[in-house]
Amino acid sequence: MPWTMENYPSSLKNLDKAVRKKAIEISNTLIQDGYDESEAIPIATSQAKEWFSNATKKEREGFLQHATTSPSSTTSSNRPELLDRPLFVTANEEGNWVVQTEGAKQPAHVFNKKEDAVKRAKEIANNKQTQLIIHRKDDTVEEKINYEK
């Protein structure tokens, strides 16, 4: 069962609300990607604190108002064969930037800004220890980053 702002691990209870929400979001994603809860919570907490320290007040407020903590409907935990596959950042037909695992039916995340998509994709690829391939709008490869061990 995914965690929410109403139902989350007790280790997150003393965190700032924005940090807690970000940690819940990251934890849910890590668990979707096959991480055990005991691994996901400390990773998510650390990343959420780092995000909070780097985010502007406006970004934090926007995140609290609009972001969701629930995982996407198509998860790699439903398709474990996707865990080792590369992750891509590409532009979609609407001009948004998507983060999607090779072979996945739907993107894991959709962003208005490429920089936001790249930031999230780097977190996921690093956690999954897989390759990240970042594309330009014309679909040519801009950068490849290898997070594999």
Residue 105 has pLDDT above 70, yes or no: yes
Determine the pLDDT at residue 76: 42
DSSP 34-101: T--HHHHHHHHHHHHHHHHHHS-HHHHHHHHHH---SPPSS-TTT-GGGTTS-EEEEE-TTS-EEEEE
Partner residues linked to 111 by β-bridges: 97
Q: How confident is the model at residue 144 (pLDDT cuts 50, 70, 90)?
A: very high
Domain range annotation of the chain: 13-71, 81-149
The model's pTM: 0.50
Secondary-structure breakdown of the chain: helix, strand, coil percentages, each rounded to the nearest 5: 45, 15, 40
Determine the pLDDT at residue 75: 40
Determine the pLDDT at residue 143: 96
What's the first-to-final CA gap in the chain, in angstroms?
Answer: 30
Determine the pLDDT at residue 77: 45
66-103 pLDDT per residue, tens = 756 555 433 444 455 666 789 999 999 888 999 998 88
5-43 pLDDT per residue, tens = 888 888 999 999 999 998 998 888 888 777 778 888 899
Determine the pLDDT at residue 72: 45
108-129 pLDDT per residue, tens = 888 999 999 999 999 888 888 8
